[in-house]
Structure 1
Amino acid sequence: MLKRTALEGHFWATIWVRDRCTSIDGRPPVSSENSRWLDRSKPDGRLGKYFLVTDKSPAKSETGLRPASIIWYERLAWVGVALTAISAAADWAVLIKYYNQQPIFYPIMVACVFAVQLLWISLVARKRQNWARWTSLVLVVLAIPGEILGFDERFRFNATMTIASCAAFAMWTVAVALLFRRDARGWFADRRLASGAGPPL
């Protein structure tokens, strides 16, 4: 939530508690896409108060208001997707094998896999879907045993593919961990409170 305060005189001090940043200037702060500053100057010309009005509609959420953990989640997740593609390309013989068996279905399936990954990143980092955040954690935890137990066999089969795959999994693991930092939890809490669902766990 936003707290507002204004000092009459030569400057205004506005503390934005939600994003933990403080703006002190000799003029009213500049308007943004999601907020505007209303001037309550007195009719006789005396200095009034400026206060911030914010549109908290989820559909108009401003990218610049996202916390650092969410921004880094998105970046690392994109790196994870890229490493997944590199891992698949490193196993070229298998790709050709499945393509020859299913020349139409297999490319569509691969495209759908990457489309789902990109959609998932958007659900978490742009749409603030708390269920997607928790599902990401469950999927990462369930995948850990397989990554550990199958590493030796996969490494002997194709070292480049295995290294790229493990690097992708590491990126996703760190990215998901960022979703449970304090600033990220507060970001998801704002979304749930606005919808009346209550704060997330």
Structure 2
Amino acid sequence: MVRPISIVRYERLYLASFVLGLIVSAMSWSQRTALVAANPVLAQVGWILPAFQVAGIAITLLLWYFTARSPSVAAKWVVAVLAALSIVGVGLSLASAARGQTTIGTISIVSFAADALYVAAALLLFRADARRWFGELPDPDEPDTFEEMSHDR
């Protein structure tokens, strides 16, 4: 099946969000490393932060593959749930900044941009052509596989 335009656009936005997420990770690596080192339990397992980073990359790429290249409805819904959680996270970050508990800096702005791209990508998965890609709607170009029969037979 030829990939529909919504899936092509989804893929572009999703991968752009992924790249921005990697940039955010690189920009905040020293802060996260310091937080892990400050915790006595986590400081003993210094491999945990790189392991989580690799796992996050692997999950992101698997979700990309099973949405943009080999359609899976389950992967589509995982992306949708993660997009919803992303919206909640941005809201909590903005509320925290409004209360003066945190500041919004370059890392936050790049992170918000990555989240916005991710949400925009996820929304594309619910357009009609994308739903046909996932097999949720019938393809109008394919003939019916059922023959009509009267009930009199």
State if a TM-score over 0.5 links the two structures.
Answer: yes
| Residues 97-146 of structure 1 deviation map (CA, whole Å, 9 limit, x = unaligned) | 15642422221111111111111110111110012112322332233233
Q: Which amino acid aligns with 2:111?
A: S
Q: Counterparts of 1:58-77 in structure 2 under 5 Å?
A: 65-77=2-14
> How many residues get paired?
130
Unaligned runs of 5+ in 2: 38-42, 140-153
Q: Which amino acid aligns with 2:16?
A: V
Structure 1 counterpart of 2:121:
175
Structure 2 counterpart of 1:97:
34
* RMSD value, Cα: 2.6
Identity of aligned residues (%): 32
Q: Which amino acid aligns with 1:72?
A: R
State the SS of the aligned residue for 2:46.
Answer: coil
CA distance in 2, matches of 1:125, 1:192: 18
Per-residue deviation at 1:152? 5.0
CA distance in 1, matches of 2:36, 2:81: 31
Question: Per chain length, whose mean CA-contact separation is higher, i.e. which structure has more relative contact order (CA < 8 Å, sep 6+)?
Answer: 2
Per-residue deviation at 1:188? 1.5
Q: 2:63 aligns with which of 99, 107, 120?
A: 120
Structure 2 counterpart of 1:108:
51
Unaligned runs of 5+ in 1: 1-60, 194-201
Per-residue deviation at 1:158? 5.1
Q: TM-score, normalised by structure 1?
A: 0.57
Higher strand share: 1
Higher helix share: 2
| Residues 70-100 of structure 1 deviation map (CA, whole Å, 9 limit, x = unaligned) | 0111111111111111112222431331564
Residues 154 and 162 in structure 1, CA contact (< 8 A), matched pair in contact too: no
